[in-house]
Structure 1
Amino acid sequence: MTGNHHDAEDLVQSAPIKVVPTWGRIKDHPESYVRQVLARESVNRWRGRRWREVTSDAVPETAHHDSTDRVALLEDLRRLSPRQRAVLVLRYFDDLTEADTASALGISEGTVKSHARAALTRLRHQQSGEEQSAVTT
Structure 2
Amino acid sequence: MDSDPVVAPRGVASAGARDQEFVEFVGASGRYLLRTALLLCGDRARAEELVQATYERTYRSWRVARAGDPRAYARRVLVNLRIDGWRRTRREVLVEPGALPDPARPDHAGDVVARSAVVQALARLPLAQRRVVILRHLLDLTETEVAHELEISVGTVKSHHARGIARLREIFAEGEGDPR
After TM superposition, the score normalised by the length of structure 1 is 0.72
Provide the residue aligned with 2:47 in structure 1. 8
Gaps of 5+ in 1: 54-61, 132-137
Summarize the Cα distance change of 1:44–1:98 in structure 2 as closer, same or farther, 3 Å threshold.
Answer: same
Q: Residue 88 in 1 paired to residue 133 in 2?
A: yes
- Structure 2 counterpart of 1:124, one-letter code: R
Deviation string, structure 1 residues 8-45 (Cα, Å, up to 9, x no partner): 33321211222112213433731111111112222222
Q: Residue 71 in 1 paired to residue 116 in 2?
A: yes
CA distance in 2, matches of 1:9, 1:80: 24
Q: Residue 41 in 1 paired to residue 81 in 2?
A: yes
Counterpart contact for 1:15–1:34, Cα < 8 Å: yes
Gaps of 5+ in 2: 1-38, 92-96, 104-109
More helix by share: 1
Provide the residue aligned with 1:57 in structure 2. none
Higher relative contact order (CA 8 A, sep 6+): 1
Runs of 4+ more than 6 Å apart = none
Counterpart contact for 2:42–2:119, Cα < 8 Å: no
After TM superposition, the score normalised by the length of structure 2 is 0.57
Q: Residue 27 in 1 paired to residue 34 in 2?
A: no
Q: What number of residue pairs does the alignment pair up?
A: 122
Counterpart contact for 2:41–2:82, Cα < 8 Å: no
**Which structure has the greater CA radius of gyration?**
2
The correspondence for 1:109, drawn from 150, 154, 179, is 154
Deviation at 1:93, TM superposition (A): 1.4
Summarize the Cα distance change of 1:106–1:49 in structure 2 as closer, same or farther, 3 Å threshold.
Answer: farther
- Structure 1 counterpart of 2:72, one-letter code: S
Deviation at 1:105, TM superposition (A): 1.8
Summarize the Cα distance change of 1:73–1:49 in structure 2 as closer, same or farther, 3 Å threshold.
Answer: closer
What SS class does the counterpart of residue 130 from structure 1 fall into? coil
